[in-house]
Structure 1
Amino acid sequence: MKPAARLQSTIEILHTVFEGQKPADTITTQYFKARRYAGSKDRRSINERVYRILRHRAKLAWMADQVSWEHEPRQLVLIDCLLQDEEVSALFTGDQYCPAPLHPKEENALAVLSEVNIEKAPDHVRFEYPEWLDTDLRASLRGHFEATLNALNTEAPLDLRVNGLHTDPSNVIDLLQQQNIDVTKGEYSPYCLRSSKKIKLAGLKVYKDGLVDIQDEGSQLIALLTEAKDCELVMDFCAGAGGKTLALAAEMNNQGMLYALDISPKRLFKMRPRLERAGATNVELHPIKSESDPWLKQFESRVERLLIDAPCSGVGAWRRSPESRWKMTSELLEDLIGRQERILETAAHMVKPGGRLIYATCSLLKRENEEQIEKFLTGHPDYHIKPMSDVWGDVLHTPSPFDGNFMSMRPDLHRSDGFFCAVLERKA
């Protein structure tokens, strides 16, 4: 594909992304499946530009405002080309498969934009976040505000989790190296392997054979800190696509019973091929209607480990899903916080005396994390928090990188997505 044709593809993909019906990675995958003529260099170039624009959408939109442009894909791509010092007139030619040629008004606007200083933009533009989140982000990140937000605007590495049911990390490293794929060990999880480059896992034998799966290191740690080994009854309350379910099954070595619950049957049952590939045989998939589903009453005071990977704002995952930050609203955040409280309330009665409730999010907001735990403990004196350093030492046998009661991972400090985890124990 010619460079100009790649630009046109970028514009087409962004139109679909901005409709907000599907995640950007799903859209790009489907786009290229329908266009087999696009080579690997074409796909890489288009993906890089699509995600660069999504990560810098606030800056590009702010610049568009300086010349009264709409925030449409064509306009944002034009500004991106300008910022990349590309010859815009040579790319917007109107030739076959290429963007339409520049209008005189566009040429004049680009001349004005070439003199704009982005450093004069307000913080929510420079650091790429919705303005309504400013107070929450500053209160939550404090002295790490700029460093964390800058890290959330970078490209995330690919983290793999070695399946403990099959093999050990060193064996997988050797197998990957045989296919010219270099990975390094994660810093915290003993099962984490990290690649700075994207890998087509679907075609690799180590993936087909269930030796590895995709899972961020922070997410791996949450499953490990659940300490499900040797437990008879474990529950993944908000299982989603099943990343933590798979990790829990491996920790349990297929012993005991592991229930994976979710309100979306479609999302939950998509886990089946992953379970089969991984060789996980102790998992029961069960859709629930809500956090107050009557089916849950049978588990009252029975569950040894109950993991709540709570629905949340997803602030900590902005590296991987940069478009998601613009879908969140203050009303949706309040609704999520209410759901988190209701899920915790239901879960509180299901954990057996002496058992543990593990609350986790991929958010960095205190209102979804520390403040939720504070409210829960105030209303449930039969629970107490387990200091993270104690749990970490018991499970991982290494010095804990976290002081105090919680695991709070940040991309700028831990090179993981942003994650929060609290371990609560019900008094025996």
Structure 2
Amino acid sequence: MSDKEQKSAYGLGRAARLNLSLEMLNEMANTGRPMDAVLSSYFRHLQDALERRDRRDLENRVRSVLLHYRRLLWWLKKIKLEPTMRAMLLADMILSENADIPQLEKLCNGARNRMDMLRKEEIAALKRLLGKEINHPDMSDAVQSECPDWAQAGLKKAFGETFTEELAALATKSTSDYRVNTLHTTPEEAQQSLASQGFKTEPCPMSPIGLRQSDAGGPILSETDAFRQGWIEVQDEGSQLVALFAGAKKGMQVVDFCAGAGGKTLAIAAQMQNSGHLVACDVHSKRLSRAKVRLKRAGIVNTQRVLLENTYDKWVKKSRGKFDRVLIDAPCSGTGTWRRNPDSKWSKDETDLSELVALQADIIKSANRLVKSGGRMIYATCSLLPEENEEQIENFLKENDKFTLVKAKTVWEENFETPYPCANEDYLRLSPHTNGCDGFFACVLEKK
């Protein structure tokens, strides 16, 4: 799209936004880029043309297609329409928004910044969807639950009889959660500051340092004083809980081994009251660069960033046995974050999962060397699959008798005043259906 066309896109209204939605979906399908990256790229290019409600409309429309992806494929097969992103977008408008053919013809008239006109065969096929709902009794559990084949066995093993309910929750709209930077303020003060500018929140049910947006109205978060002053960070409640679960204390030596852009690093630094020594490691320089900006804005001074060449970097060997806490927020399939990243379901397969499981095992094998005697290693993922979680820990403990499992309930009671939120006392397992936050797994191993 040319600069001139970009600037005029919003002026063309709903039809132009529908066309932009299709462009975004096609880019994801053709390049494999994640939804967030594609949306951000388009929004930057169109920042002078799009208002807040337009960005929301575009994101919701793209997200709707991805959330209904497998069911839309089922319907397109049933009506014998080629499963293109265009067909999926049009079918979703009928099945999810009760759009009719005249409405679609008006939106798809072939003009500039509009989708091509509907073809006769498209009209004939789409008419068969009128009056239908997105769900159909003939759909299998996997289709209705929007579960990809590569994850189905693991999720059924994890959830058993509640599989359908858990998967349905993973297809709902995610919450907007924020972590309060306790180095600068309290949750109460942050909430009051946000409220004074029309940004309404309420305390998160489990995290003592979390706020959850209760009203979609008000200003953009980045325009609030609380955000500009480094009082709050965007972070799902589940992620906050994992960071606090590490139990880092003032004066400790701590490593965030897979720190990425520093979300949990920031929370741990505040937990340590900006004292001791916190090391944020990662193999991706760009992610660590983003962490630098966030650390500065939050006023963090006790953190060192270390770029690793690989999982077995020489720094790990040199730092053997020096740390009280080692958090491994391991790369994973991200099944627990499908509410936020529905596209990730369809961008992976069995081979990707196998590679991730092998990588996780390597990371544990390397990072455990950093733990001192009496120290703890915290292993966490945002996955809900047993092979990335319990089975990883069981396999590690079989081969390493220097560590013992500390019950998750015990660790929770050491760090939180709220009741333990899980049925399993050995492992912390959070999910949208059970806990209302993203899906996470965490466990604690203590070195003898």
User: TM exceeds 0.5?
Assistant: yes
Give me the identity figure in percent: 38
Q: Which residue of 1 aligns with 2:347?
A: 327
**Correspondence for 1:68 among 80, 84, 87:** 80
1:416 and 2:437 correspond? yes
Q: Is the 8 A contact 1:64 1:76 kept in 2?
A: yes
Name the residue aligned to 1:93: 109
1:426 and 2:437 matched: no
User: What is the rounded CA distance, in whole Å, between the counterparts of 1:289 and 1:197 in structure 2?
Assistant: 44
Aligned letter for 1:366? Answer: P
Structure 2 unaligned segments of length 5 or more: list them: 1-11
* Residue pairs, 1:227-242, within 5 angstroms: 227-242=247-262
Q: 1:343 aligns with which of 359, 363, 370?
A: 363
Counterparts in 2 of 1:131 and 1:115: CA distance versus 1, 3 Å = farther
CA contact (8 A) 1:314 1:363 kept: yes
Partner of 1:396: 416
Cross-structure match for 1:29? 40
One-letter amino acid matched to 2:23: E
* Aligned partner letter, 1:426: K
Question: One-letter code of the match for 1:40?
Answer: R
Match of 1:312 among 327, 332, 341: 332
Instruction: Report the Cα offset of residue 5 of structure 1.
Output: 1.8
Q: Tell me whether 1:273 sits opposite 2:273 in the alignment.
A: no
Q: Deviations over 1:357-377 (max 9, x none)?
A: 000000001111111111111
How many angstroms does 1:393 deviate by? Answer: 1.1
Q: What CA distance in whole angstroms lies between the structure 2 residues aligned with 1:173 and 1:377?
A: 43
Among 14, 34, 39, the residue aligned to 1:3: 14
1:85 partner amino acid:
N
1:197 is displaced (CA, Å) by 5.0
The answer to whether the Cα contact below 8 Å between 1:66 and 1:113 also exists between their aligned partners in 2 is no
CA deviation digits over 1:337-357, x for unaligned, max 9? 111111111122221010000
Provide Cα deviations, 1:218-259, integer angstroms capped at 9, x if missing partner. Answer: 111111111111243100000011100000110111111111
Q: What is aligned with 2:213?
A: 195
Residue 288 of structure 1 deviates from its aligned partner by 0.6
Moved more, 202-211 or 35-44: 35-44
Hey, what's the Cα distance between the residues in 2 that align with 1:100 and 1:302? 63
Contact map agreement 2:202 2:214 (CA 8 A) in 1: no
Question: Aligned ranges for residues 176-325 of structure 1 at < 5 Å?
Answer: 176-197=194-215, 200-325=220-345
SS in 2 for 1:280: coil
Change (3 A) 1:153 1:326: same
Structure 1 residue 196: deviation in Å?
A: 4.4
Residue 109 of structure 1: aligned partner: 125
1:14 equivalenced with 2:32 (yes/no)? no
The alpha carbon displacement at 1:115 in A equals 7.0
Quote the Cα distance in structure 2 between the aligned partners of 1:31 and 1:374.
44
Alignment gaps of 5+ in structure 1: none
CA contact (8 A) 2:151 2:385 kept: no
Counterpart-to-counterpart distance in 2, 1:369 and 1:143: 20
Q: 1:352 aligns with which of 360, 363, 372?
A: 372
Which residue does 2:158 correspond to in 1? 140
Q: Which moved more, 1:130-139 or 1:281-290?
A: 130-139
Task: State the alpha-carbon separation in 1 of the partners of residues 161 and 304 from structure 2.
Answer: 44
Deviation for aligned residue 1:298: 1.3
C-alpha separation in 2, matches of 1:204 and 1:42: 21
Give the letter for the 2:207 counterpart.
S
How far is 1:20 from its partner? Answer: 4.1
Counterpart amino acid of 2:368? A
Secondary structure of the structure 2 residue equivalent to 1:328: coil
Match in the other structure for 1:55:
67
Q: In structure 2, how many angstroms separate the alpha carbons of the residues matched to 1:255 and 1:314?
A: 32
Q: Cα–Cα, structure 1 residues 277 and 34, in superposed 2: closer, same or farther, change >3 Å?
A: same
Find the residue that maps to 2:137 and give its secondary structure.
helix
1:76-126 deviation per Cα after TM superposition (whole angstroms, max 9, x unaligned): 111012112113222222233221111111111112333766331222221
| One-letter identity of the residue aligned with 2:36 | D
- Structure 1 CA distance for aligned equivalents of residues 414 and 195 of structure 2: 33
SS of corresponding position for 1:423: strand
Q: CA deviation at 1:390?
A: 1.3
Which segment drifts farther, 228-237 or 275-284?
A: 228-237
* Amino acid in structure 1 at the alignment position of 2:159: L
Quick one: structure 1 residues 34 and 405, their matched pair in 2 at CA, closer, same or farther if it must change by over 3 Å? same
Query: Separation in 1 of the partners of 2:381 and 2:294?
Result: 22
> Could you tell me how far apart the structure 1 residues matched to 2:358 and 2:55 are?
41
Moved more, 197-206 or 92-101: 197-206
CA contact (8 A) 2:166 2:432 kept: yes
Aligned residue type for 2:212: R
SS of residue in 1 equivalent to 2:128: helix
User: Is contact 1:159–1:214 with CA below 8 Å preserved after alignment?
Assistant: yes
TM-score, structure 2 normalization: 0.92
Once the 2 structures are TM-superposed, how far is the Cα of residue 278 of structure 1 from its aligned partner? 0.3
Structure 1 SS opposite 2:445: strand
Query: For residues 400 and 203 of structure 1, what CA distance do their matches in structure 2 show?
Result: 36
Contact 2:156 2:163 in 1 (8 A): yes
C-alpha distance in 1 between matches for 2:184 and 2:51: 35
Deviation at 1:379, TM superposition (A): 1.4
115 and 174 in structure 1: CA distance in 2 versus 1, 3 angstrom threshold: closer
Residue pair 2:432, 2:438 contacting (<8 A) in 1 also: yes
Contact 1:315 1:362 in 2 (8 A): yes
